[in-house]
């Protein structure tokens, strides 16, 4: 089976890791795998692992997710997507010439609307779309158009969890298949005398709740609580003074590292906050954390929640209505409201002051993660969907 994968992000983030983990599973071993992605950190990782990759300047999107849908100054982001249209089309044509025909196109997020259209026209084969983000709840002309488009051009959809699935129209042919992570056997953590450590894992961005994390650290310091706060990862992209200044002026910049570092100095948090470098070896990270924090503004669970759970570590997540497949409040972790840094602080202290609760939450999180996030089992489900799509297409 010959599959073309389309991915949009240059930095190695949650969607990138999820795709890489999937491609490296046993069920995917015998597939012919080819990837088009934006040039950057992720494409370098793919090339280092000897995947067939075409790098491009950018992959055009149309974003109608709950957090990032176009409104106000965010409509200016659409200019970038128009700039990316030619390189998206060129990359797909290049792939057709270089690699030939494909049995199936796997699009790694629902926002890649132009890629779905172009690939359907160029390759004339079924298209499967992975949905990794909660969609906008606003029923308008834009959403109705996208629904008609998807029903016409996409054969099947995969939602990564129940939170994403419930944001989608019931008409879409859909199945929930969770992400996963390949790890060695993990034993529950034992209590220790080291300093209590909480961490945020992933790229640094405003929407991930990095500023709320710093505010929680400030309260801890002012309360004389000995807690270590750790950022694991890096900025979303390389710095560009002109670009970053412009985006900040119109209020749509996600770059946050400079502001975070300024607040660390302003609040005198040098002894409280640490930055750990990006790494592919996540087990080395999680074994040094007691709790993972995901205080994002997306109002949805992120990949670090189940990654931590697979390492017997509970999470604190900012979600208004969590679903039982990701985090269960007071059982596998603690749930707070988005933007609530005081709630984040209180949750950190609840874990810090109650070691038995910490241990039981970690064990419960592991059980839940083993149930839903077994990467080999989930990869087999994806392969079975591939086969079903091709069977129906060839009838």
Enclosing H/E stretch for 354: none
pLDDT value for 191 = 46
Distance CA 393, CA 374 (A): 29
Going by pLDDT thresholds of 50, 70 and 90, the confidence category of residue 145 is: very high
Closest CA to 109 of 73, 85, 75, 135: 135
Provide the 3-class DSSP secondary structure of residue 371: helix
Across residues 178-189, what is the average pLDDT? 72
Q: Which of these ranges, 187-196, 278-287, 309-318, has the smallest mean pLDDT?
A: 187-196
**Which of residues 345 and 169 earns the better pLDDT score?**
345
pLDDT value for 160 = 96
Distance CA 34, CA 225 (A): 50
* Confidence check: pLDDT of 250 > 80: no
**Which of residues 193 and 116 earns the better pLDDT score?**
116
Percent of the chain with pLDDT over 90: 76
pLDDT value for 166 = 93
The per-residue pLDDT for range 75-125, each reduced to its tens digit, is 888 999 999 999 999 999 999 999 999 999 999 999 999 999 999 999 999
pLDDT value for 256 = 85
Q: Do the Cβ atoms of 173 and 155 come closer than 8 Å?
A: yes
Going by pLDDT thresholds of 50, 70 and 90, the confidence category of residue 237 is: low
The per-residue pLDDT for range 8-28, each reduced to its tens digit, is 998 888 899 999 999 999 999
Q: Do the Cβ atoms of 216 and 341 come closer than 8 Å?
A: yes
Where are the alpha helices (H) located in the chain, listed in sequence order? Answer: 14-23, 41-48, 77-99, 113-123, 141-153, 162-165, 210-222, 241-249, 257-266, 282-286, 303-310, 341-353, 355-372, 375-394
Distance CA 292, CA 267 (A): 22
The per-residue pLDDT for range 32-72, each reduced to its tens digit, is 999 999 999 999 999 999 999 999 999 999 999 988 888 88
Domains of the chain: residue spans and CATH = 2-180+374-394 (3.40.50.2000), 196-372 (3.40.50.2000)
Across residues 346-362, what is the average pLDDT? 96
Distance CA 279, CA 45 (A): 11
* Confidence check: pLDDT of 345 > 90: yes
pLDDT value for 7 = 96
* Confidence check: pLDDT of 370 > 90: yes
């Amino acid at each position: 089976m010959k599959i073309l994968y389309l991915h949009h992000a240059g930095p190695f983030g949650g969607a990138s890791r999820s795709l890489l983990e999937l491609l490296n599973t046993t069920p995917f071993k015998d597939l012919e795998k080819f990837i088009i992605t934006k040039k950057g950190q992720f494409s370098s990782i793919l090339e280092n692992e000897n995947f067939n990759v075409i790098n491009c300047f950018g992959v055009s999107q149309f974003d109608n997710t709950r957090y990032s849908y176009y409104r106000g100054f965010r409509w200016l982001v659409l200019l970038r997507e128009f700039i990316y249209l030619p390189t998206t089309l060129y990359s797909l044509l290049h792939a057709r010439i270089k690699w030939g025909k494909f049995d199936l196109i796997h699009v790694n997020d629902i926002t890649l609307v132009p890629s779905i259209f172009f690939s359907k026209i160029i390759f004339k084969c079924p298209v499967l779309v992975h949905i990794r983000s909660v969609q906008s709840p606003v029923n308008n002309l834009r959403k109705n158009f996208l629904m008609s488009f998807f029903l016409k051009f996409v054969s099947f959809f995969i939602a990564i969890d129940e939170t994403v699935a419930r944001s989608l129209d019931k008409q879409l042919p859909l199945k929930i298949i969770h992400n996963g992570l390949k790890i060695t056997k993990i034993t529950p953590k034992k209590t220790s005398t080291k300093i209590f450590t909480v961490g945020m894992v992933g790229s640094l961005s405003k929407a991930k709740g990095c500023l709320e994390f710093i505010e929680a650290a400030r309260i801890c310091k002012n309360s004389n609580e000995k807690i270590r706060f750790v950022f694991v990862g890096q900025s979303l992209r390389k710095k560009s003074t002109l670009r970053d200044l412009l985006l900040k002026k119109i209020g749509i910049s996600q770059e946050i590292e400079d502001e975070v570092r300024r607040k660390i100095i302003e609040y005198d948090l040098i002894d409280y906050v640490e930055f750990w470098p990006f790494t592919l070896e996540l087990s080395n990270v999680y074994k040094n954390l007691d709790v993972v924090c995901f205080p994002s503004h997306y109002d949805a669970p992120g990949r670090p929640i189940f990654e931590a759970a697979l390492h017997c570590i509970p999470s604190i997540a900012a979600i208004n209505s969590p679903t039982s497949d990701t985090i269960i409040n007071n059982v596998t972790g603690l749930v707070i409201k988005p933007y609530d840094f005081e709630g984040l602080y209180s949750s950190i202290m609840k874990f810090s002051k109650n070691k038995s609760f910490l241990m039981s939450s970690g064990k419960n999180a592991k059980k839940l993660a083993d149930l839903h996030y077994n990467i080999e089992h989930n990869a087999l489900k994806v392969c079975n969907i591939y086969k079903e799509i091709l069977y129906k297409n060839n009838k």
